[in-house]
Each structure stands twice: as structure tokens, then as C-alpha cells.
A and B are shown apart, each in its own frame.
Chain A
Amino acid sequence: MALNRDFVGRTYPPSAPYEVSRVKIREFAAAIGDHNPLYRDQEAAQAAGYPDVIAPPTFPIVFSLQSGGGALVDPDLGLNLAMVVHGEQRFEYTRPVHAGDRLVMTSTITDIRTAGRNELLTVKSDVRTVEGEPVCVTYNTIVERGGAG
């Protein structure tokens, strides 16, 4: 079933703040097999000029998965989640994420389009600290396989 184009341009209320912890960064870095000391050693991170350990560039997916789901489960959108695969992902940084950040994510559906038999939906999310400092912008495109068929 084709996705409801009326959803393009919809912005969802900001997520609850996500508190970035040293433990979560360490766990994530271990899971991707990355032993960079700036992810696990506070002194090394501070020597490099950061307030605390920083997170790998793809880390924001952790809180996107938790907070970005609201739009996609709205039955009016017509998305069959069982057929969804990840199409594209991009992170645009103002500064790296570091432990101690309290981050709020505001998501907008920026595009819905058809590619062959698939439906593509792009969500842009603006990630800021609770104080309003911009940190990064993420772009997530999902593919609904066979959605346009």
C-alpha cells in the first residue's frame, strides 16, 4: 500500500531527553569493535580537548531508535513495518556527542517517494542539548519493500 503523502512535512513533538553515559558509549564502542581511547578513557578525551569521552559518529542511532518510532507506527501512514529495511543514513555534526550530554531529538518527515516497487520515507531529526545547543542533524531513509507494488 502506498504511503500517505499527507505525512510529508509533519514534525513530531521533541523526544524526552536522552542522557548520554560513559557506560553506554563504552558498550557501543565495544559492540562495533572500536578501541579508540577517546571512547573509553576520560583523561585521553580531556587531553584531546573534550569535556568527557566522546561517542562514535554512528552513536545517535541508539536514541533515534528509541525516539523516532512514533511517526512510523501511526496507522494513517500505512507503513508495513515487517517489510521495512534501512535505505540510507547520514549524520551531520556541529560537534561530537560526549558523555554527560542530555539530548533532545525533533523529527520531521521530509520526503516520501516511490522508487520502483518500493516506498521510501525520509526522516530528518534535529538533535540538540536540553539547553538548545545544536549537536547534530540525522537523516534516516527507510525502504518499504513492495510498498508501491
Chain B
Amino acid sequence: MSAAVRYDEVEAGQEIPAVDYNVRRLNLVMYAGASGDFNQIHWNERFAKMVGLPDVIAHGMFTMAQAGRFVTDWAGDPGAVVDFGVRFSSMVVVPDDDQGATVTVSGVVEEKLEDKKVVIGLTARSGDARVLSKARAVVQLT
């Protein structure tokens, strides 16, 4: 129950280097099964286009999970994340090819709180679109 990052070694304004996460159709099929969200816009191209979308789109919660992974990999201990929230501001379009889509997540230590907690501001982009906004996590450091 302890993060690998020490509070005393972190400064406000410090950047956490960006990580690219690949999203292919297979990931969405697996996420549909694991989460129980079988909405067709996440796996059926014919249906997605019928309701006016450009193609199949990723589950918002899948994108949020990638941002979560970015934070927990930085913190070391996933249990150190005490608050995590996002707004879904744009969709991640996932073509049916071998490349899929890329979600790039980066972060910055926005604020040092009391009790050795820090606020991490997150940015997630796919192509030109900012896919998460108001994305932040509060992490308990040691």
C-alpha cells in the first residue's frame, strides 16, 4: 500500500513523459466482454456508421483506463490512486486495420496537497483530438 514515488522528490509543475497506447479492434472486443458494455458502436462498423459515426469508436471507459494505467505505472501502486475523474471530450476512432488508433497520454504534477498527496493533470490525445478533458488524479505518495 505504498507508491514508489516519494512526495519529497516531486515538484509542482513536474512533467510525466508521454506514453503511447495502441487501440485495435481486438482491444475493444476484449473490453466489451470484460466490462459488459456491448454497445454496437464499439465493435460493429455497419451500425456505427448507421448512427452517424465515422467508424467504430473506443469505449470512453477504455480510454479512461489507459489514462489510469499511465497514472498507476507512474505511482507504482494502483491502490495509491485515491481520486480519478475525466470528461470525455472527443471520440477515439478505431479503424479495422493492423495499426488501429493511438492514444497518447501525458501528465503534469499540478499541485502538492497535504498528507503527501499530489494532483496529476492528464492530457490524452488521439490524432488531432483531445479525447479527455478535465482529467485529473489524486495520488497518495510516500
Contact = CB atoms under 8 A, between A and B. Distances in A.
Contacts of A48: 1-2, 77, 79
A36 B75 CA distance: 11
Contacts of B137: 57
B83 A92 contact: yes
B62 to A, nearest CB: 7
Contact of A88 (B79, B83, B134): B134
A65 B1 contact: no
Interface in A15-61: 24, 27-28, 30-34, 36, 38-39, 48-50, 54, 56-58, 61
Nearest to B66: A32
Interface in A60-116: 61-62, 65-66, 82, 85-93, 95-96
B87 interface: yes
Interface of A: 24, 27-28, 30-34, 36, 38-39, 48-50, 54, 56-58, 61-62, 65-66, 82, 85-93, 95-96, 139
Interface of B: 1-2, 21, 27, 30-31, 33-37, 51, 60-62, 64-66, 68-69, 71-73, 77-79, 81-88, 134, 137
